[in-house]
Amino acid sequence: MKTYMHFRTNIAREKPSTHLGDGTSCPFCDRDTIGREGVIIKQEHPFLLIENKFQTLEEAYQMVLIETESCEGDLSTYEQGHLHSLIRFAITSWLEIENSGQYRSVAFFKNHGIHSGGSIYHPHMQIVGLANVDYREHVSPEHFAGYMIDQSPGIEFNLSSHPLSGFSEFNIVLTDRAKLDKMADYIQMTVKFIMNHMNKKFKSYNIFFYYMEEKIIAKIILRAPTSPYLMGYSIVQIPNHLEEVVARMRSIYF
């Protein structure tokens, strides 16, 4: 059965867009204005978790996690200390909200690039408390299994053999939270691979996080124009060169 959420188009029209450099000033660079006018939920310099000014979803509470003080940088370029601190702050904040009992589930994801569904260039993630929707209803363990890239006790890194939306989906499955820094390293490695060694025409990706059966899971997806089979028929396409992708990634990073 499909799950539907109601979208407030009147509010969405008010959102700024700095994705394409249209001259609009970036609202996430102006920390002074955020401090005066925004609702700051949590902060740990340079990271900020704030209330999303544009609550476009009904029966949900939308938050933005700002990753940097300026528009410079991205997950693919962060120094290791910044990367590790960011992922620890982000996942800790997400799970605190998840465990608060205020919401049926709490979605946590990142958009990057024009094909990802994002509108603001400044590096950020989103945490969304869903009052009546459980995002886990439409995923299953098979979506996070696949061709092994690397693994060690408490963490597994693979390329999905049964993707949710098709083509290239990388999974990081964490069962030992002491390995959060390793998860961060795998995430950065995947983003670098997507941006530099896959389809260079579409430098966009999403990262989706899941909390299931005491596991923390990250799924990183290369984004390009969506398949008509998926859009029109919910048919997922699986490419026939997944093992080649795994071999190429291993040759570069391992």
pLDDT digits 0-9 by tens, 223-238 = 888 889 999 999 999 9
Residue 14 has pLDDT above 80, yes or no: no
Task: Give the closest residue to 174 by CA, choosing from 122, 138, 216, 213.
Answer: 216
- Look at 17-26, 94-103, 164-173 and tell me which has the smallest mean pLDDT: 17-26
Average pLDDT over residues 74-103: 97
Average pLDDT over residues 22-30: 72
Beta strand pairing call for 155-160 and 169-174? antiparallel
> Quick one: pLDDT band at residue 242, thresholds 50, 70, 90?
very high
**Torsion angle (degrees, nearest 10) of CA 205, 82, 79, 181:** -80
Residue 230 near residue 250, CB atoms below 8 Å: no
> Residue 15 has what DSSP assignment?
-
Residue 70 has pLDDT above 90, yes or no: no
With tokens 């702050």, the residue in question is 89
d(CA 9, CA 199): 32
Residue 116 has pLDDT above 90, yes or no: no
Q: What is this structure's pTM?
A: 0.93
Average pLDDT over residues 27-50: 87
- Name the more confident of 31 and 119: 31
pLDDT at 198: 86
Strand order in the sheet with 40-44: 40-44, 47-51, 60-66, 124-130, 105-112, 204-212, 215-223, 169-174, 155-160, 146-152
Domains and CATH numbers, the chain: 9-136 (3.30.428.10), 142-253 (3.30.428.10)
- Name the phi and psi angles at 151, rounded to 5: -160, 155
> Quick one: pLDDT band at residue 20, thresholds 50, 70, 90?
very low
pLDDT at 38: 75
| Other Cβ atoms within 10 Å of 138 Cβ, number | 12
pLDDT at 96: 98
Task: Give the closest residue to 109 by CA, choosing from 194, 226, 218.
Answer: 218
